[in-house]
Chain A
């Protein structure tokens, strides 16, 4: 919402300077996004009256004879609205325009143009560049410097929150400033000279839920033409495009008061107006020239045509071309109505047609504004064009009463932590237009109908805070004893933090990858089929929610191809049938990179070592049992058992994937969180010496270590303290296809020294179990 400073000042004669206003607006919650400084027209730009306009044959250009005071000059213009009988802004040769161009006399198609007729954009006073600034022919005396009547302007561009519907108007902003700064507010003039009219329209509202108020008024004796210079100046500063006096007066009133208006050519709607739901499949060509297909959810303004009716506007959104105000319009019906916000929003969204009007109706327009907005429009139009104003007012619906909200100033202080006096709070509300009644708490506060956002006591508390100022809110510490069911609420997050910390400590780089992936990439990387898809992805190929973390980490390996230490981890969510939190790690090279020293820590043992170190830090027991997993090399793939529960997979990436992504060997693991915790119990420190034995078992190549390890633990007896694999041997004298797994075994009794005989007995049981299982002991 653009608010020109000079417009505000019309209502607030004692308004401080713009810089100060900016800060006050911010403090009111009417955030100033930017302050624009619009210059006055450049020196040398004068008013000119077009005496004659002629075609230049073979072109779209026109040759204009323009009275610029002491002389009549010839100008060439290609603007569609260049014509005789209007006033123009003229730059003579030598004038420097705001964009830096110096105007010069030019010969165009054999005609010498002695200067330039300017568009608002060329003048630097507005954005419109599609045509000339078009002024009333007698607006000024020809030759007058425009800068003398067209001052520089400061425009506040406000970023308004959707609750402040009332502030989508100059008056609304002025009201807030008046309340905050305790300024006198001069209400916009609405008086008109009324006369009787010979004909008008009837209005029937067939859908009172969609339209709870419809007010129509009459203006006649119209001459459609440009609006006065000052009105156009303000519209341009606000970012609106002047069109003609009638349309400009509706826009001007909307910008000023916040109520959208629409003017119909009376001739076109003379049969009467009906406000009704659209019929299924009904079509209408809107003012922008587009044909729109309607549904019964849409509300239309229709004209009676014989026995039927035909839409002349989509209610609250846009008028139709069939009843638009044209150069020939002499009488208009002005619509000032109030439509249901949700219906307007749904229609505007469905049609993809957001207008200044729909934007305001969606947010909430004062239901009691229509009579006033209509009067302001008529006042302006009568002043601008001398039209007649009819004494008829059709008003279906009428005024709505104010809401009543109970208010306790003590509650405001309790919520704000302030000690504002009751008096100051009630006065603040009154300054905002509230009516306050009652002798004590709760007071009955009746907010003005334009404040559609004030419905509950807390809303009023905010108003008190806004007007009296949040700078009065003190700073206080808060200490509380949480209710018991909150204890340890953060345990899951603490565990995640600990895992991240451990992974970082092991040397991993934490990556954070996008939640969306392309199904093709997930399939390429052999991840589970995606289950959940975005309806409106930014990149239509990446429409699936990731089903594993490692595919993203593989991308990170690829992105960082040139780097060393390609060891990444991520802790994040994946989306299978349920949302899971996971931790994954990928290793794209040795743990210790080669420098002048050899590389160290490559292959599967490196990733397995990382997993084991992670588990050791977490105080967990981790084991991997061979098992194929879809993403992994079938021969280097296992299930991770974390404290005996299967929680993930580890191994080498499937070579097909490595090849497809042009990666070398990649080792990875992925764990599903939360990881099961083991019960921790203190074990007394060893007091007696251990007995150590070694055991070597010869097994076929495809028998995994864990199988022998399980046997050792299962049959090792109560005093087997530890078993550790220390050698894997595969050469002579063992036969081909056999390997020897050698273990250090440690036995210890907590209360005495074990005898050799006792240890031999334990060893005997283990050996018997190994032989029973079909393997040989290597002596």
Chain B
């Protein structure tokens, strides 16, 4: 019987078959159970010997069943895993990846750099009045300095802001020093577009006002920015220049190593300087008109402004600024940023 059982167990191909064998031999009506029952008629010596034999058989069958069950389970798992196999090289669901416009990316990066230095980001209107865009910034009517900004005029006498600088005065009208702000935003220049000129682009303006603020602080802020943008080897140079709303006025250059060519050069990145007393006065006059106290009489400050698209063009080697607002996905998706 043992041989027979073992042969059947070895041949069993599934857990169900194994169960059937188990029942047939070990179940209540199983052959082994019957054999135990049949011992009743034997004498004690024989019964003892028979009992021991049957127990040995029972144990052997149980062991064989267990071993076979384990074998079958392993095989079934292997089969299941094989059935569930997938081609993981297949493309996934085409989820929309999303991404920022490259101008936004650079602006965000700049804003983040200045936030670390304690600046807050504020924004202002794009349709401006002549007062905030020019007069309050010490750019009187009929002054040749106005030629520095080719302007889009509105039929109602307003204009599209030519720089983010009007926010200097707007912010000072409503806030008291000390403070540090940056102003990201769109600006407009009335000029024919070509590879390096766009009528619409983005600027970041900076303004820090308080007691005892010097050109050295400006240089410190710009150096911090330059290093954050271009690494530890970045340097900053100030060169005299002219913007009516700062005095002294400078242009700042940053030593930049082109990652694609490894070549270094000085980039003219933007304009800056110490806030002109006429700008403080314009802000105070406006405050006074609004019933607010004059608070810009004993402070100094610096301001700076830089173009955003140019940084992107240099960083990525974009040859033509006209790509920026075409919003072609072929362009937009080239600048992923986590």
The digit string for B200-216, where 1 denotes a CB below 8 A from any CB of A, is 10000000101011111
Does A509 lie within 8 Å of B215, measured CB to CB?
Answer: no
> Chain B contacts of A572 at CB under 8 A?
186
Query: CB within 8 A of A512: which of B175, B220, B241, B324?
Result: B324
* Most B-side CB within 10 Å, residue of A536, A567, A594: A536
Bitwise, A77-110 to B at CB < 8 A (1) or not (0) is: 0000000000000000000000000000000000
By the criterion CB–CB under 8 Å, are B100 and A489 in contact?
A: no
Interface string of B79-106 (1 = CB under 8 A from A): 0000000000011011111111101100
Docked CA distance A575–B127 (Å)? 8
- Residues of B close to A163: CB separation below 8 A: 145, 242, 244
Residues 297-330 (chain B) with a chain A CB within 8 angstroms: 300, 324-330
Contact B178 A481 (CB under 8 A): yes
Identify the stretch in A34-42, A409-417, A662-670 within 8 Å (CB) of chain B at 4 or more residues: A409-417
Indicate if B134 sits at the interface (CB-CB under 8 A): no
Nearest A-chain residue to B223, judged by Cβ: A475
A69 CB to nearest chain B CB (Å): 50
Bound-state Cα–Cα, A161 to B246, Å: 13
A residues near B99, Cβ cutoff 8 Å: 504, 509-510
Q: A473-B238, A477-B220, A507-B95 given as contacts; is B179 within 8 A of A512 (CB)? A: no
Contact B325 A513 (CB under 8 A): yes
Is residue B5 contacting chain A, with contact meaning CB distance below 8 A? no
Residue pair A512, B103 in contact (C-beta under 8 Å)? yes
- Contacts A29-B240, A161-B242, A511-B101 given; indicate if A564 touches B94 (C-beta within 8 A): yes
- Expressed in whole angstroms, the Cα–Cα distance for A177 and B192 within the complex equals 36
Q: Which residues of A contact B123 (CB under 8 A)?
A: 492-493, 496, 581
Q: Which of B7-15, B24-32, B38-46, B149-157 contacts A (4 or more CB under 8 A)?
A: B149-157
Q: Which residues of B have CB within 8 Å of A595?
A: 91, 93-94
B142 at the interface (CB under 8 A from A): yes
Q: Give the distance to chain A from B298, nearest Cβ to Cβ, in Å.
A: 12
Q: What is the CB-to-nearest-CB distance from A243 to chain B, in angstroms, rounded to a whole number?
A: 27
Asked if A435 is at the interface of the complex by the 8 Å CB criterion, the answer is no
Residues on B with beta carbons closer than 8 Å to the beta carbon of A507: 95-98
Q: A31-B241, A592-B95 are in contact. Are A493 and B121 (CB under 8 A)?
A: yes
Q: Are A476 and B214 in contact (CB under 8 A)?
A: yes
Known: A162-B144, A515-B160. A489 touches B120 (CB 8 A): yes
B127 engages A579 (CB within 8 Å): yes
Q: Which chain B residues lie closer than 8 Å to A489 at the CB level? A: 120, 122, 171, 175, 179, 181
Which residues of A have CB within 8 Å of B247? 456, 458-459, 461-462
Could you tell me the distance in whole angstroms from the C-beta of B233 to the nearest C-beta in chain A?
A: 15
Interface check B67, CB cutoff 8 A: no
User: How many residues of A sit at the interface, in one of the four size bands?
Assistant: 35 or more
Contacts of B154 in A (CB 8 A): 532-535, 545
Residues from chain B with Cβ under 8 Å of A513 in the complex = 325, 327
B329 pairs with A563, CB closer than 8 A = yes
Asked if A478 contacts B221 (CB within 8 A), the reply is yes
Instruction: Find out whether the CB atom of B148 lies under 8 angstroms from the CB atom of A162.
Output: yes
Q: Is B250 an interface residue (CB 8 A)?
A: yes
Specify which chain B residues have a CB less than 8 angstroms from the CB of A346 in the assembled complex. 142
- Distance between B287 CB and nearest chain A CB, rounded to angstroms: 12
Asked if A510 contacts B101 (CB within 8 A), the reply is yes
Residues of B close to A27: CB separation below 8 A = 239-240
Choose from B96, B180, B328 the contact partner of A482 (Cβ within 8 Å): B180
Q: Determine how close the nearest CB of chain B comes to the CB of A432; give it in whole angstroms.
A: 13
Whether B216 contacts A474 by the Cβ 8 Å rule is yes
How far does the alpha carbon of A594 sit from the alpha carbon of B329 in the complex, in Å? 18
**23 pairs, CB–CB < 8 Å, chain A vs chain B:** A162-B144, A164-B242, A362-B144, A458-B247, A465-B240, A466-B240, A473-B219, A476-B217, A477-B217, A481-B178, A483-B177, A490-B122, A497-B108, A503-B98, A505-B98, A507-B98, A512-B101, A533-B155, A534-B153, A559-B327, A565-B329, A592-B94, A597-B93
Closest A-B pairs by Cβ, 10 of them: A417-B216, A507-B96, A29-B240, A417-B214, A161-B242, A462-B248, A490-B120, A593-B94, A478-B217, A470-B238
Task: Enumerate chain B interface residues (CB-CB to A < 8 A).
Answer: 90-91, 93-101, 103-104, 108, 117-118, 120-123, 125-127, 142-145, 147-148, 152-156, 158, 160, 171, 174-181, 184, 186, 188, 190, 192-193, 199-200, 208, 210, 212-217, 219-221, 223-224, 236-242, 244, 247-251, 274, 276-277, 300, 324-330, 332-333
Given A415-B248, A477-B217, A478-B220, 9 new contacts (CB under 8 A):
A456-B277, A461-B274, A478-B208, A506-B96, A507-B95, A509-B327, A511-B327, A512-B325, A535-B154
